Amino acid sequence: TSSSTTKLDLDGNPIKPLTICMIGAGGFIGSHLCEKLMSETNHSVLAVDVYNDKIKHLLEPDSLPWTGRIQFHRINIKNDSRLEGLIKCSDLTVNLAAICTPADYNTRPLDTIYSNFIDALPVVKYCSENSKRLIHFSTCEVYGKTIGSFLPQDSPLRQDPAYYILKEDTSPCIFGSIEKQRWSYACAKQLIERLIYAEGAENGLEFTIVRPFNWIGPRMDFIPGIDGPSEGVPRVLACFSNNLLRREPLKLVDGGNSQRTFVYIKDAIEAVHLMIENPARANGHIFNVGNPNNEVTVRQLAEMMTKVYAKVSGEDSIETPTIDVSSKEFYGEGYDDSDKRIPDMTIINKQLGWNPKTSLWDLLESTLTYQHRTYAEAVRQSIAKPVAS
């Protein structure tokens, strides 16, 4: 390429084409990251996953302009000796593979701990031993509950950001008791973060840890009974989408009072893109990636999604748009919840100059347009089927 088309990093240096070993490339985040890397960069991806449905459109047909730059490897990292070879011949490994749906944390705690901690160990080890850079995906859940949640309900300190803003370098990690198995996930993620950090400190591993704060958008999770198990419980975006598609009330767990900040997947992927291309600014850092301006309670999210879906589908909302359900009924024994999650953005802003752009209404509008276009017909047919047979 001529120098006029050479892309530069944030410090003005030319960006060299990289080979990226992406573990979990077939998931929600991986599919968007692959899409970005194929359409906007010259990097190559060794896409490792057990499924590839979400990246099929990038792998086929052979005539796609980036065909030579993406290669799918159907590998289960639990038990495959080919993993080390792929990491060795890459410049960078991005690890996205993990169980990350709350419905699993209390019902499949062993799988959750194995997937998030044990299965990540060889990845960290191979990167460290072969002096390869690692971008590891963690979670905002490592923060657990806010300090403010332990104050009396009417305490004015609850309004003080010092008691709820989550900062990478100073906030503590506050989990519930062991019998609240919800926290098995956060605890496993915390330990793998500490291990990576220690590999950095003792063995010089070049790492970046990402803490996603409720990234949402197209291709997230699955719609039960359509492209996932009918009894499966995905995360809130897919649960509410499913309810809207089926014209059922949206279920508010324990009153829907928990607060979340939602960021559009495409904004968040831009942050990961900056980390990939600016190692000198990203190595050794833990980054919150979220949108502090998009805070709602789960109840407000339900109300907004109901309005947006009526707009994009052209169908009126049902008479009772939400119903209350207890967490024990919905998730079973051992569920617990994060009360509030607002990311501090100082570090990512300073290091990478990144800021989220998309408002909650806009990201829901594009996401629910996608959900409607992708699933409405299939849901209609699945509802019609049992009656016909």
Interface residues toward ligand UDP, by CB under 6 A: 102, 214, 235-236, 239, 251-253, 256, 258, 260, 298, 337-338
Token code pair at residue 213: 């704060």
Helices 236-245 and 298-313: crossing angle in degrees, nearest 10, is 40
* Closest distance of CB 258 from ligand UDP, Å: 4
Token code pair at residue 17: 């084409």
Euclidean distance between the first and the last CA atom of the chain, given in angstroms as a whole number: 60
Residue whose token pair is 């950095």: 200
Annotated active-site residue 185? The verdict is yes
Token code pair at residue 378: 């299939």
Q: Residue 166 CA to chain centroid, in angstroms?
A: 17
Amino acid at position 149, single letter: S
Q: Give, for 133, the enclosing helix (H) or strand (E).
A: strand 133-137
* Closest distance of CB 102 from ligand UDP, Å: 4
* Closest distance of CB 213 from ligand UDP, Å: 9
Nearer to ligand UDP, 66 or 331 (CB): 331
From the list 185, 264, 331, 335, the catalytic residue is: 185
User: Which residues are CB-contacts of 43 (< 8 A; sequence separation ≥ 6)?
Assistant: 17, 18, 19, 20, 37, 69, 276
**Cβ burial, residue 24 (10 Å; 0-12/13-18/19+):** buried
Token code pair at residue 125: 């080890």
Within 10 Å of residue 272's Cβ, how many Cβ atoms?
26
Within 10 Å of residue 235's Cβ, how many Cβ atoms?
16
* Closest distance of CB 239 from ligand UDP, Å: 3
Amino acid at position 197, single letter: Y
Could you tell me if 343 and 166 are in contact, meaning their C-beta atoms sit under 8 angstroms apart? yes
* Closest distance of CB 101 from ligand UDP, Å: 7
Dump the DSSP string for 274-332: HHHH-HHHHTTEEEEE--TT-EEEHHHHHHHHHHHHHHHH-PPPPSS-EEEE-HHHHH-
* Closest distance of CB 76 from ligand UDP, Å: 25
Which residues, listed in sequence order, are joined to residue 46 by a DSSP beta bridge? 21, 71
Nearer to ligand UDP, 35 or 337 (CB): 337
Strands 263-264 and 215-216: parallel
Nearer to ligand UDP, 265 or 298 (CB): 298
Nearer to ligand UDP, 260 or 266 (CB): 260
Nearer to ligand UDP, 117 or 215 (CB): 215
Nearer to ligand UDP, 167 or 235 (CB): 235
Nearer to ligand UDP, 102 or 321 (CB): 102
Amino acid at position 33, single letter: L
* Closest distance of CB 154 from ligand UDP, Å: 23
Q: What residues are annotated to the active site?
A: 185
